[in-house]
Every structure is written in structure tokens, then in C-alpha cells.
């Protein structure tokens, strides 16, 4: 754990990419192999499951620190992180532990199987043998909430330097459904594993938002335009007589979309398609609300399969006849994909996502304005000569989204943030008018500057009406412009509506609370865009 703690400190205490990559590279060269595997797993989101609930940890932390539980609870929201709070209140360790990262993870995995007294004894003994940084990391692993400021890109770069392999190869090897408890360093990094390769997706190519106007991209003839669909980005893999469906978040979703099993009947082995998983009806894509019924379900009932069937709207071909096509120009990949889709039956759950024809940037701008009518978020612009790269790269792929929908709302509740913003009120509940009453309809926590958060925090402290645990009810006074990507009907919300990706786009100092929007305004937007 000492080596892992040193790595964490090196990453956490620097904002420089070069420093982080150097620390990771040294770690991947020198740490025990299984510790390296678990470090890759943790940094890429494959965290051990929670072994102890947070209520017990708070109680044990207060007990060991010798402070009343109420005092611990008061400190917790100020620090903003339970693992850090416990690490800070405990006395210095009584002993010194030489156990490595793998030992602690294996111990935590076994901890879930024992009774609470034994579980408590183990946790207290661990706290007594770890220094504050190690305790913090142990607590993060214990709660299953480990996050650190290392992107997949930085990790693959460090692995490439440590092993002498190419970055794209490293990125590809880290994709897929590998188990850190059952995988060796050799299997993951060095050897060619045909069994793992069969299900392994490719790293997704991600686009940046268009900066300014698209005229800066040059000759429109060099570019291909597509709708930016409002679904789930995914890859459909057909290899070795089986199929796999992966989300952009590296989640295996094959069982959630059983209709795609038919792909094996007409898509040749050795094919990988990149596209959008969309609800489909009446021969056209449906809006995200229809797809949302399917999200989060491990199994899908027949009724829902009928009401919200899903297709893959394919827009790129990453592998064909077992060959990696990513370095082939987009225009050639697209031509092969188009020929493949011509052979598919009309009722196939895979369809070709059409390109959007245009002869000038102005005509494309006019088409973009109709995106919501096409159930799209805007347009994708891709250079016809572009390869399929790894991760987010500038130059060849751009997203040109519609401006968000907006509504002016009144802040009525405030709650403290977490981490570096634990001392600020950053999480707010907003309401609109229904007659003479304010009806809450959404929450938002992003969009303001640090200075604006500090100002609203000072105001909240002086204008709190009631407290509900960490939540404060405030005097209705401030109006904020709330931006969002979509709106849908919701039986779970008092207002009857739910917003997609709400955030604060402006603090409306110029608008009195009486001029905020109404629930009727929201319902009118629901009729148009829902």
C-alpha cells in the first residue's frame, strides 16, 4: 500500500500531465505485477464492491477517534468526503504495515462474507496500521467509491512507455470485460489471448464541439455530415459465432438488447460496427424517452420489447472480415458499411445511419436547425479522409449540437458540494410558478464560476428559512437560467416533467422572481419537444 499511496500522492499533488505520466510509468515498471493489474482496474472504474456500509464506518470512525458521533457528522459535510474525514480524525497509527495493494483488496473482497464483529475488528486493525494517506485509500476501497484524476489516455500512455508497446494497442487491450482478480499481467498486457480478443471492443473515437462556425473547417466537400443521435453510443461485435454489445462506458450490454442477437444471422463473422442504440418505431428513430425505459434493466419483458424495440443505427465499420479497419479512410469504411447494410433484411435490428447531404456550410446550418424534428441533438462533422482514432482528438471529428433549451427558474433549496467545494453551496433545487405557488421541477449543480458559487453561498447562509439535514430551504429571491437538452413527462416528479442534463447557464440578476417561468411554459415545451 505504501507504493500505491506514493503513486496517489504524486498524481494528486500535481496538475501537470508529464508528472502524472512519469509517476504512472515508474509504478508500472517497478510495482508487483498483481498490484499493477489492480491499479489499472481501479483507475479504469473496476472497483471492488462496497464491503461495509457507510453508517457503520461513521460510527466506527467516531468511536476510534474518541469523539461523539454528532461531532463526526458535523465534520463530514465540511470535509466533503467520508474516507478523508475518517483518515483525518483518527490518531496516528500504532504499527506499520508492509502489505501491498493486492493483499488489501483480497482482504476486502473476503470481508463481505464474515459477520459484523469480525468485519469491524479487521477495519479497526487496518486503521491502526496505516498512515493517513494509506487510510484514505483503504477507506475509498472499502466504500467502493474510488475515483482519481487519471484519464484512460494518461494511463495508456504510461503503460506504453513502461512496456515499449504502442498506445493504441494498450488502449485496445484495456477494453472489454476482463476480471482483475483472474487476469495476470502477461495475459492483459503482453500475450495474445484469442478468447479475450473475441469479445474485446475497440476504444471509441470521440469528438470535440465545433469551435465557432464550421466555415473554419475548410472546404465542405472534404466533410461528411451525419445526425448526432440522442441514444446510447455502442459497438456491435460479431466474432467466433457470438455477438457482443458494448457501451461507450465499457459496459457489456448484450443481454439488455436481445433483439440484436439476430445480427449473427446476417452479419459476417469478424465484423465490428460503431453506432447508436436507439428505440425504433414507425420506421424512424424515437426520442430518448422511449429508450430510457430500457436503460438499467438487466432483463427486458416482452411487453417492453414490443413497445420500445431497439436497433443499432450503424455509422462506422471498425473491423471487417477479421481485419482492423481503423486506419482506412472514413470514406472507404463508409462505402463497405453501406454495401453490408444493403444485404440486410428490412426488419434487421441493424440499419445504416444516413449521411446528411449539403453543398455549403450555410445549407448545413439550415438543416441543423431541424435536428429536433429528426429526434437528433445536432450534427456530427467527420473528415472523409479521417482514420478512426482512439479517444478524444481534435481535427477530424466534430459535434455541432443545437443550442440547449432554456427556462428561467427560482432557487428554493441549497446543499453543500463535495471535495474542493465542500465549503460551498453548489447543489440547488429550482422551481417554476403554478399560480401563486412555486413547484420544484429540477436540480442542478454545474454552470457557475467559483466566484459565483462563493457569492451564492454567502447569501444562502444569511437567508436560510429551514434546515432538512444538509439541505437548506432559502427565501425565493434568485432567478437562474436553466439549460437542458430535452424534456419528458415524469410521474416521479411533482411538476410532472423531468429535464435531460440540466445545468445553470446564467444567474439572472436582471430578472425579479415574479418573472420566472411557469409550469404552463414547461408543459408547452413538453408538447413541442417531449
What sign for the dihedral angle of Cα 207, 212, 216, 220? positive
Superfamily the domain 2-143 falls into: DNA ligase, ATP-dependent, N-terminal domain (1.10.3260.10)
Query: Is domain 205-401 classified as CATH 3.30.470.30?
Result: yes
Instruction: Residue 339: name the closest of 262, 407, 402, 271 by CA.
Output: 271
Q: Where in the chain is the domain with CATH 2.40.50.140?
A: 405-529
* Per-residue pLDDT, 305: 84
Q: At what angle do helices 17-30 and 2-12 cross, to 10 degrees?
A: 170
CA 283 from centroid of its chain's CA atoms:
30
Alpha helices in 433-499 (DSSP H): 450-462
Backbone angles phi, psi at 76, to 5 degrees: -55, -55
50/386 Cα distance (integer angstroms): 43
Q: Are 143 and 57 in contact (CB under 8 A)?
A: yes
Superfamily the domain 405-529 falls into: Nucleic acid-binding proteins (2.40.50.140)
* Per-residue pLDDT, 195: 59
Residue by residue, DSSP assigns 359-420 as: SSHHHHHHHHTTGGGGTEEEEEEEETT----SEE-SSSEEEEEPPPEEEEEEEEEEEE--GG
For residue 493, name the pLDDT band (cuts at 50, 70, 90). Answer: confident
Q: Where in the chain is the domain with CATH 3.30.470.30?
A: 205-401
The helix/strand/coil state of 318 is: strand
What sign for the dihedral angle of Cα 168, 170, 174, 178? positive
Kindly report the number of other CB atoms within 10 A of residue 292's CB atom. Answer: 16
pLDDT tens for residues 292-338? 777 767 677 788 888 888 999 999 999 999 999 999 999 999 999 99
Residues ≥6 apart with Cβ < 8 Å to 311: 259, 277, 278, 280, 349, 350, 351
* Per-residue pLDDT, 196: 60
For residue 229, name the pLDDT band (cuts at 50, 70, 90). Answer: very high
Distances from the Cα of 40 to the Cα of 44, 494, 529, angstroms: 6, 43, 42
Mean pLDDT of 450-462: 93
Amino acid at each position: 500500500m505504501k507504493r500505491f499511496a506514493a503513486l496517489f500522492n504524486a498524481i494528486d499533488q500535481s496538475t501537470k500531465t508529464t508528472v502524472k505520466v512519469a509517476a504512472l510509468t515508474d509504478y508500472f515498471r517497478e510495482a508487483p505485477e498483481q498490484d499493477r493489474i489492480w491499479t489499472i482496474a481501479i483507475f479504469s472504474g473496476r472497483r471492488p464492491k462496497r464491503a461495509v456500509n457507510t453508517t457503520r464506518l461513521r460510527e466506527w470512525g467516531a468511536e476510534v477517534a474518541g469523539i461523539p458521533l454528532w461531532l463526526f457528522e458535523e465534520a463530514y459535510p465540511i470535509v466533503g468526503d467520508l474516507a478523508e474525514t475518517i483518515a483525518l480524525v483518527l490518531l496516528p497509527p500504532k504499527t506499520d504495515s508492509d502489505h501491498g495493494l493486492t493483499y488489501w483488496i483480497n482482504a476486502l473482497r473476503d470481508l463481505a462474507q464474515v459477520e459484523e464483529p469480525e468485519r469491524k475488528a479487521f477495519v479497526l486493525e487496518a486503521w491502526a496500521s496505516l498512515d493517513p494517506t494509506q487510510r484514505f485509500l483503504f477507506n475509498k476501497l472499502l466504500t467502493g467509491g474510488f475515483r482519481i484524476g487519471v484519464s484512460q489516455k494518461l494511463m495508456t500512455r504510461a503503460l506504453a512507455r513502461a512496456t515499449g508497446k504502442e498506445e493504441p494497442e494498450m488502449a485496445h487491450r484495456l477494453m472489454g470485460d476482463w476480471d482483475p482478480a483472474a487476469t495476470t499481467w502477461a495475459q492483459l498486457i503482453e500475450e495474445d489471448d484469442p478468447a479475450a480478443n473475441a469479445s474485446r471492443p475497440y476504444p471509441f473515437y470521440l469528438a470535440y464541439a465545433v469551435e465557432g462556425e464550421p466555415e473554419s473547417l475548410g472546404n465542405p466537400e472534404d466533410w461528411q455530415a451525419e445526425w448526432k443521435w440522442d441514444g446510447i453510443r455502442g459497438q456491435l461485435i460479431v466474432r467466433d459465432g457470438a455477438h457482443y454489445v458494448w457501451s461507450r462506458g465499457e459496459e457489456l450490454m448484450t443481454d439488455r438488447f436481445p433483439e440484436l442477437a439476430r445480427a449473427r444471422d446476417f452479419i459476417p463473422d469478424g465484423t465490428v460496427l460503431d453506432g447508436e442504440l436507439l428505440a425504433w418505431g414507425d420506421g424512424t428513430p424515437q426520442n430518448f424517452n422511449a429508450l430510457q425505459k430500457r436503460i438499467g434493466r438487466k432483463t427486458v419483458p416482452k411487453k417492453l420489447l414490443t413497445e420500445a424495440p431497439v436497433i443499432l443505427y450503424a455509422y462506422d465499420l471498425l473491423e471487417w472480415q477479421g481485419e482492423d479497419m481503423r486506419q482506412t479512410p472514413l470514406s472507404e469504411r463508409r462505402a463497405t458499411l453501406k454495401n453490408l447494410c444493403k444485404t440486410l433484411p428490412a426488419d434487421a435490428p441493424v440499419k445504416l445511419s444516413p449521411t446528411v447531404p449539403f453543398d455549403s456550410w450555410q445549407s448545413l446550418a439550415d438543416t441543423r436547425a431541424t435536428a429536433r424534428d429528426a429526434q437528433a441533438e445536432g450534427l456530427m462533422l467527420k473528415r472523409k479522409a479521417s482514420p478512426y482514432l482512439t479517444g478524444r482528438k481534435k481535427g477530424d471529428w466534430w459535434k455541432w449540437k443545437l443550442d440547449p433549451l432554456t427556462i428561467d427558474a427560482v432557487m428554493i433549496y441549497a446543499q453543500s458540494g463535495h471535495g474542493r467545494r465542500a465549503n460551498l453551496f453548489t447543489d440547488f433545487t429550482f422551481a417554476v410558478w403554478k399560480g401563486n405557488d412555486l413547484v420544484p421541477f429540477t436540480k442542478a449543480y454545474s454552470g457557475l464560476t467559483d466566484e459565483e458559487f462563493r457569492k451564492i453561498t454567502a447569501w444562502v447562509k444569511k437567508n436560510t428559512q429551514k434546515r432538512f439535514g444538509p439541505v437548506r430551504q432559502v427565501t425565493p429571491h434568485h432567478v437562474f437560467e436553466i439549460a437542458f437538452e430535452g424534456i419528458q413527462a415524469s410521474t416521479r416528479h411533482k411538476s410532472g416533467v423531468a429535464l435531460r442534463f440540466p445545468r445553470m447557464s446564467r444567474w439572472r440578476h436582471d430578472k425579479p422572481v415574479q418573472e420566472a417561468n411557469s409550469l404552463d411554459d414547461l408543459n408547452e415545451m413538453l408538447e413541442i419537444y417531449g
